[in-house]
Structure 1
Amino acid sequence: MNKPSSRRKKATSAASSEPKPALEPEKENPASVTIEVTALVVPEELSESEQHDRLHLERKVEHAFYEAGKALTELRDRRLYRSTHRTFEEYCRDRFGFTRMAAALKIASVKVIDNLSTNGLQNAPSTEDGLQILPTNERQVRPMTNLEPQQQREVWQQAVNKAGGKIPSGRIVQDIVDKIRERTKVPNPYREGEICILLPKDNPDLRGKGGCWGVIAHVGDYSCTVGTWDGDYTVKIEHLKLVELLEEDCKFMQQLCMRLRQLHQVASRDPSVDWLLQGLGKQAKPYLSSLQAKLLAAMEREYKLSWKQQK
């Protein structure tokens, strides 16, 4: 028997049964520690000339919609679109991608800005550098377009004060205008012969008439009577949206409304007539396509309706 070998095995077994000492945590090497340092960016001062240029460019950006409105006004009034387009609406859509109402709002904004910046605003709100605080987008101007000049100035002054001396949001301006309307009589902005679109909102009498256009036949203190292809409706001014058109375009729409009403009064009309009436009754445009004109004329011949164009 090899006894020494047996003793070595026992010794090894005994040694393996002893608890091993816990490993000590690895000590950090000071040389490997990462320290985050935030870099301080020191603002670079602008020269007096650069400051002037910055303010000038900022004002141009803020009032780009005003310059657009001035340009559109001149294009419309001088009919500089006539070499390529029949109507101002077509021109704005094709050349700038503006809807009819977008162009109209930019044009209306010009009068509001001119009023706020030039008429009796010696105590008008201004920034720390002395620049007058004026609207910077159509949303701020839209609620004031139907107000009298003095009311526009009062509304804007209150809106700037409510915004803490800064440019107010369109919502702030709208809230102040709503409060003024509650306590004062706002003049009816519409005139007889103008073209408007019906806005049903909460008026059950206008259910199904959303988007229909009509001719204003009577103007009251707070409402208008509007003639459409299928009848007359007396609605409040908040249920109307003006279609900005030249006088000649309004005349075209007035005549078209008369033609549509004549067809609607035919008791034995074919259902296809109603399809045309409903389609044209929601197309608030001062023109007809070639096919639309042919269809309308064909239906008038079918029911022996005479129509004489007014000069």
Structure 2
Amino acid sequence: MAKPPSKRKKATSAISNNLKATASSAEDIFNPENPASATITVTAAEVEELTEAEERDRLHLERRVERAFFEALKALAELRDRRLYRLTHKTFEDYCRDRFGHSRQKSNYLIAAADVYENLTTICCQNLPPEDLTTNGSQILPTSVGQVRPITKLEPQEQWEVWQTAVQEAGGKVPTGRIVKDVVQKIMERTKVPNTYQIGEVCQILAKDNPELRGKGRCWGIVSAVNDFSCTVKMWDGEYTIGLQHLKSFNYLPQECEEMQSLSDRISRVYSSALEESVQKFLESLGKLSRPYLTALEEKVLNVLELEIRD
């Protein structure tokens, strides 16, 4: 087969000439017979240092970025607590969905994250005002919800200890949510920190990497027993013992947990009556709700089914 045109030779020649020019100008060692053996010294460009005013501006802007995360979450909590949504929406959940595009569950996570941030700043810097916080040394603080979600259920002092350990494992930088979660798990396994779930709490089942939970992914259940590293969760078709890594709390309010407990009992009674398969599928769909209430139509259908089993 004929060789391709000589463009490749020209390109090689150009590279060789460039190497010669560079080596010559830099007074480096260069062997024309073997360009690959060339030793080229590259002088780094000098970076202009920050002035005192620029350094102050940098620190001030960093503090604003750090505080933005916290201020947004505190504002959300105040909107909820003062019911400032009442003129346009009946519930906080509807308001959050329409105004910010997220569910009440996410809102609860955000508000819980604000409490964690406040706990960390209080314990870490009791003698410093919030505006003096900087991301250096022991004053590294969270910048996103995912970083503090694993510790929202811990006591304030435990939150601080976990956060400090996570910062160390992250090399003195802001740790990821995964690092924080791993630290929590290690501490629980090593020191047997009490299970933070409570009886009556509503949790979602995370079936990933657990074949025993196949078919239960995204289902919700009520915690009926709290063990060292697991919870017994009551669902519409029975009770299951599930490891903490496969549970996620919905962070419902106490009244909402009671309502979900009542709903679980209602679904269980109808489900155990062995009605048609289509009915069972409907009940199973209710078992995957990510909200603490039924719609008007869902409530009507469930009422009809309850009347059916009574008759």
| Equivalent in the alignment of 2:37 | none
The reply to whether residue 209 of structure 1 matches residue 216 of structure 2 is: yes
| Equivalent in the alignment of 1:99 | 103
| Equivalent in the alignment of 2:75 | 71
CA distance in 2, matches of 1:271, 1:146: 39
The reply to whether residue 89 of structure 1 matches residue 93 of structure 2 is: yes
1:79-228 equivalent positions in 2, closer than 5 A: 79-119=83-123, 132-228=139-235
Contact 2:271 2:283 in 1 (8 A): yes
Report the AA paired with residue 253 of structure 1: M
TM-score calculated relative to the size of structure 1: 0.72
Question: Number of aligned pairs?
Answer: 265
CA distance in 2, matches of 1:247, 1:146: 15
Report the AA paired with residue 183 of structure 2: I
CA distance in 2, matches of 1:102, 1:128: 27
Residues 163-196 of structure 1: CA deviation (Å, up to 9, x unaligned) = 4433333344344333323311122111122211
Q: Judging changes above 3 Å, is the alpha-carbon distance between structure 1 residues 299 and 206 closer, same or farther for their aligned structure 2 residues?
A: same
Shift of 1:289: 1.9
CA distance in 2, matches of 1:265, 1:169: 44
| Equivalent in the alignment of 2:38 | none
Matched residue SS, 2:310:
coil
Q: Judging changes above 3 Å, is the alpha-carbon distance between structure 1 residues 179 and 255 closer, same or farther for their aligned structure 2 residues?
A: closer
1:42-81 equivalent positions in 2, closer than 5 A: 48=53, 55-81=59-85
Structure 1 segments unaligned to the other structure (5+ residues): 1-39, 306-311
| Equivalent in the alignment of 1:289 | 295
Residues 22-80 of structure 1: CA deviation (Å, up to 9, x unaligned) = xxxxxxxxxxxxxxxxxx999697784x7656544432323323222222333334444
Matched residue SS, 1:255:
helix
The reply to whether residue 278 of structure 1 matches residue 291 of structure 2 is: no
Work out the percentage of aligned pairs sharing the same amino acid.
Answer: 55
Shift of 1:95: 1.7
Matched residue SS, 2:148:
helix
CA distance in 1, matches of 2:231, 2:185: 20
Task: Tell me which moved more, 292-301 or 208-217.
Answer: 292-301
CA distance in 1, matches of 2:234, 2:75: 33
Task: Tell me which moved more, 176-185 or 227-236.
Answer: 176-185
The reply to whether residue 262 of structure 1 matches residue 266 of structure 2 is: no
Report the AA paired with residue 308 of structure 2: E
Contact 1:147 1:186 in 2 (8 A): no
Matched residue SS, 1:216:
strand
Structure 1 vs Structure 2 CA RMSD: 3.3
CA distance in 2, matches of 1:252, 1:105: 20
TM-score calculated relative to the size of structure 2: 0.72
Report the AA paired with residue 200 of structure 1: A
Residues 58-109 of structure 1: CA deviation (Å, up to 9, x unaligned) = 3232332322222233333444445544443333222211234432322221
Report the AA paired with residue 239 of structure 1: H
Shift of 1:264: 0.7
Report the AA paired with residue 249 of structure 1: E
| Equivalent in the alignment of 1:33 | none
Q: Judging changes above 3 Å, is the alpha-carbon distance between structure 1 residues 217 and 181 closer, same or farther for their aligned structure 2 residues?
A: closer
Contact 2:232 2:241 in 1 (8 A): yes
CA distance in 2, matches of 1:128, 1:110: 18
Residues 199-236 of structure 1: CA deviation (Å, up to 9, x unaligned) = 12344432201111112222233322222122222222
Residues 114-148 of structure 1: CA deviation (Å, up to 9, x unaligned) = 22211155799x85889932111123222332333
Structure with the higher helix share, 1 or 2 = 2
Shift of 1:283: 0.9
Structure 2 segments unaligned to the other structure (5+ residues): 1-44
Q: Judging changes above 3 Å, is the alpha-carbon distance between structure 1 residues 223 and 159 closer, same or farther for their aligned structure 2 residues?
A: closer
| Equivalent in the alignment of 1:16 | none
Matched residue SS, 2:139:
coil
Contact 1:225 1:235 in 2 (8 A): yes
Shift of 1:254: 1.5
Q: Judging changes above 3 Å, is the alpha-carbon distance between structure 1 residues 190 and 86 closer, same or farther for their aligned structure 2 residues?
A: farther
The reply to whether residue 299 of structure 1 matches residue 305 of structure 2 is: yes
